[in-house]
Chains A and B, each alone.
Chain A
Amino acid sequence: MLTYTIRRLILAIPTLLFISFIIFLIVKLSPSDPTAGLPLTIPPEVREQIRESLGVNDPVLIQYFKWLKLMVWDEPLHLIEGWTGLNVAPDDGARIISYQTRSPVMDLIVQRMPQTLWVVGTSYIVGILIALPLGIISAYKQYSVFDQVGTFVSMVGFSVPTFFTGVLFIVIFAVHLGWFPSVYDTTHEVTDWDSFVVQVKQIIMPVMVLGLYNASQISRYMRASMLDNLNQDYVRTARAKGLGEQVVVLVHVLRNSMIPVITVIALNIPAVFGGAIITEQVFKVNGIGQLLIIAIQGGDVPVVQTVSVIFAVLIVLFNLLADVLYGVLDPRIRYD
């Protein structure tokens, strides 16, 4: 298993380099201009100077290699310095700099991470907590009223876009009922019980919007996987041995059914770090998703590039993790 993991990790390097180069080309060759969003009162000569100072006019390959060097060498060293306090980072101060804020991209990402993890991470957990029982009961009582309702709810949750449910939630719970705030306060810190209640109030709407969406996806996998197993011979054997239904379903069937579901859950974790572009925008959460969309709109190549490549890294890593987990959970699967 270890050699397999190492082999996969080594293979990931060329893949990631290729991905990063393709992303760079796509972003770079698309018609975007960091000065496009500026008021028309700013004359073209000044715009040209701004572009020059940002380095937009350098040849594409040079820009790519400059970025790559910073990404794989300078930025990790800065990260280590930030964590450990060791003075290892190069002193020339070279960082990946955002066109819009003129500040290091990594600082932006670090700043946005907490609210993204809070909101999107919680919604993922909530989604799983809803999905598992829903999927199990739906499968065990196939075609019952519960199953029909569950199927209907997950179909609705899956097909209605979050920009609709989000605004609907705001109109109902923030405007009419006045229970929750419609604007997320990123500066809020949880220090005691009262501030925790405030945090729960401001987080509940985005979490539920995303949670319902996640739950509808995962519950379908859970249900299908349970159904596959419920009709297996070993289930009949277990019942024939005289085991109680609870043990049969929750121990024998569930454990076997969880294998593909866990893989699906692991594969979707990178999306948690990626934030939720639309939901973050609707609730003004201003996490990674909002960072990415603003950067795309503003032609901010370094931010788009860096964030996308971090996603790519996470996706590659979690794919590997899912494969490894598969082997751990299912003894029949061996990679060596």
Chain B
Amino acid sequence: MKRTTLLLGATALAMAPAAVWADAHSERGSSGHLNIIYWQAPSTLNPYLSGGTKEVESASLILESLARFDDTGTMVPWLAADIPTVENGGVSEDLTSITWTIAEGVTWSDGSALTAADFIFTWEYCTHPEGGCAQASSYDGVTAVEAVGDNQVRVVFGSPTPFPYTAFVGSESPVLQAAQFADCLGARAPECTDANFGPIGTGPFVVDDFRPNDVIELSANPNFRFPDRPYFATVTFKGGGDATAAARSVCETGEFDYAWNLQIDPTILADMEAQGNCTVVTAFGTSVERLHLNQTNPDPALGDIRSTAEAGPHPFLTNPIIGQAMSMAIDRALLVEIGYGAGGQPTCNVLPAPELYASTANDACLTQDIAGANALLDEAGIVDTDGDGIREYEGTPISVLYQTSTNAVRQDTQALVKEWWSQIGIDTELRNIDASVFFGGDPASPDTFQKFYADIEMYTNNFAGVDPQAYMANWACDEWPGPDSQWQGSNIQRFCSEEYDALIVEMAGTADLARRGEIARMQNDMLVQSYSIIPLIHRGGVSAHASSIEGIRMSDWDSELWNIMDWRRAE
């Protein structure tokens, strides 16, 4: 109830700022100084040169895009006057172009006007072949960006694009000032240190001092389009330390007002919150901690061809009964309690959100059922024939190698899952690999998650934005990682179904939102019911803010600082 009131208040604030807060505390800068701590420090303020969350979010105080996603995942016009749709004529009938109208009165912090030329430049900047732009996928499929009249930008796609809100939407593809970055195209991008460290933006704050991997000092943008905002006059954005120390500086010593990404022991965080100085906030996007069950044979005896199509199917994990039993044996609620606290919810879907796309067909997995799992295996004739406590499937003992990245929560999860699986007669060997190697993607390393030289592996994945089309296409048959593609490919568990591929094609040609939701739910159900993937935890972002700060609407669909212009300090 309280949260709803807060949200309503904040929405009203966004709609009619002058009317709601007519008192003296509604002026720009009236809330004084804001201290933010990100325990990973931003390396640059140009999100196109670094795809990291810390850079994208810190830059979102300065750089903005045409539209943003609020805390519910709804798109809100930001630099644009409205959201173009097919109905209002902003999106062409054939779905190959979208025309945005730039809102009136938007200027850069140096006072010059924001024009279509800036958007055209930004597109050229990020798609320059020598630039190594980290956000290039935001401009996938875009063949041209052109000016229409004085205040309109048209983004043209090479093929019909049912969800055209990719370029210049969200915190990952903000608009850069053409005048500032004109000499920074392609290979020259790194030479523009001053511009990368102090971009001129349209956002609520301007950079006063940037120290890479350390601290950013910002102050309110004097030319910001809302004359009364931001309410904070200055911001210190400090980086460094670790998550526990960041939580402590907000909840215990009160030195900071906002701390990001507090993935720490839930009981410690709860104790800190109980002291009453801070409020823990969470936002759930699409991140799901999941198990991938290798559908190909990872037997080391196969040498270089293991875990590829050539190796043949997995001796037992291709049988969905075994995957189903494994899933039933897991107590997801306990995993949340031990490892994630407020930052996790049990889930049975690989696509848990937005609401439109979330399936409810698999929710039975939410309750642990070890007896049921045992019965299921017994019925299928998968029993322990030699009395060693481990079931055999067609003569092969069900013994799995279960790997993940090195991380305390993941190792706890591994230990619990191993115990539960032992109760249903499945033997588990655990392994953890340093995150920089596991996720490093080095084709020469045998330990990457793409190579998947194991039976089962666990990690979290998600997608940026709110449209699952590209994400669900990850599980196409031709997306298998393998030696011919340098082990690049997104279908990590090597799932393949013609029916599923047909849905991918259908999705790419469907504009109707309801039908898209239906397709996405069908895709989710096919994946989950193949038991090649076992979703565990729907993970959210966890942050904490001083109790005196109001107006925070944390979003996992955009930068969590997306509405910082509305933040204010309570009396």
Contact = CB atoms under 8 A, between A and B. Distances in A.
Interface of A: 31-33, 35-54, 93, 97-98, 100-104, 107-108, 111-112, 170, 174-175, 178, 181-183, 185-187, 281-282, 284-286, 290-291, 294, 297-299
Contact of A36 (B215, B440, B463): B440
Contacts of A103: 44, 190, 193, 196-197, 212
B193 A186 contact: no
Nearest to B46: A102
B52 interface: yes
A54 to B, nearest CB: 7
B43 interface: yes
B422 interface: no
B3 to A, nearest CB: 27
9 contacts: A31-B440, A32-B440, A37-B439, A40-B461, A46-B136, A50-B134, A98-B212, A103-B212, A297-B436
Contacts of A33: 436, 440-442
B213 A31 contact: no
Interface string B422-465: 00000000000001110111101101000000000001111110
A175 B41 CA distance: 23
A193 to B, nearest CB: 23
A101 B43 contact: yes
Nearest to B446: A31
A284 B241 contact: yes
Given A97-B190, A183-B249, A290-B213, A38 B437 contact: no
Interface in B11-68: 37, 41, 43-44, 46, 49-53
Q: Which 6 A-B pairs have the closest CB atoms?
A: A53-B132, A44-B488, A102-B190, A33-B440, A36-B440, A101-B212
A46 B213 contact: no
Contacts of B464: 39, 41
A183 B255 contact: yes
B332 interface: no
B224 interface: no
Nearest to B131: A53
Contacts of A108: 212-213
B132 A52 contact: yes
Contacts of A100: 43-44, 50, 212-213
A101 B45 CA distance: 9
A37 B212 contact: no
B126 to A, nearest CB: 10
A286 B50 CA distance: 20
Given A53-B130, A182-B248, A299-B436, A294 B213 contact: yes
Contacts of A101: 43-44, 212-213
Contact of B441 (A47, A111, A182, A183): A47
B41 A286 contact: yes
B213 to A, nearest CB: 5
B51 A183 contact: no
A45 B134 CA distance: 10
B477 interface: no
A212 B153 CA distance: 63
Given A37-B436, A290-B240, A294-B213, 11 more contacts: A31-B440, A32-B436, A33-B436, A36-B441, A40-B461, A45-B488, A49-B133, A50-B51, A97-B190, A101-B212, A284-B240
A103 to B, nearest CB: 4
Nearest to B436: A36
B288 to A, nearest CB: 11
B132 A36 contact: no
B252 interface: yes
B211 interface: yes
Contacts of A98: 43, 212
User: Among the interface residues A37, A183, A186, which one has the most CB atoms of the partner chain B within 10 A?
Assistant: A183
B554 interface: no
B130 A284 contact: no
Interface residues of B, number: 65
B240 A281 contact: yes
B137 A42 contact: yes
User: Among the interface residues B46, B196, B245, B459, which one has the most CB atoms of the partner chain A within 10 A?
Assistant: B245
Given A103-B193, A282-B241, A49 B136 contact: yes
User: Among the interface residues A32, A41, A98, A186, which one has the most CB atoms of the partner chain B within 10 A?
Assistant: A41
A40 B439 contact: yes
A37 B435 CA distance: 8
Nearest to A45: B488
Interface in B183-211: 187, 189-191, 193, 196-197, 209, 211
B292 interface: no
A186 B211 contact: yes
Contact of B435 (A36, A45, A175): A36
Contact of B253 (A175, A282, A290, A291): A175
Contact of B245 (A37, A41, A284, A299): A284
Contact of A187 (B134, B217, B437): B217
A44 B249 CA distance: 37
B132 A49 contact: yes
A50 B215 contact: no
Contacts of B136: 45-46, 49
Nearest to A102: B190
Given A41-B464, A286-B214, A187 B255 contact: no
B284 interface: no
A99 B211 CA distance: 16
Contact of B239 (A32, A46, A48, A286): A286
Contacts of B137: 41-43, 46
Contact of B49 (A39, A102, A182): A102
A175 B251 CA distance: 10
B94 interface: no
Contact of A182 (B191, B193, B253): B253
A54 B132 CA distance: 8
Contact of B211 (A35, A111, A299): A111
A52 B444 CA distance: 17
A113 to B, nearest CB: 12
Nearest to B214: A286
A91 to B, nearest CB: 12
A284 B238 contact: yes
A187 B234 CA distance: 14
B402 interface: no
Nearest to B470: A43
B52 A38 contact: yes
Given A33-B442, A39-B53, A53-B130, A291 B435 contact: no
B238 A183 contact: yes
Contacts of A178: 253
A49 B249 CA distance: 39
Nearest to A42: B51
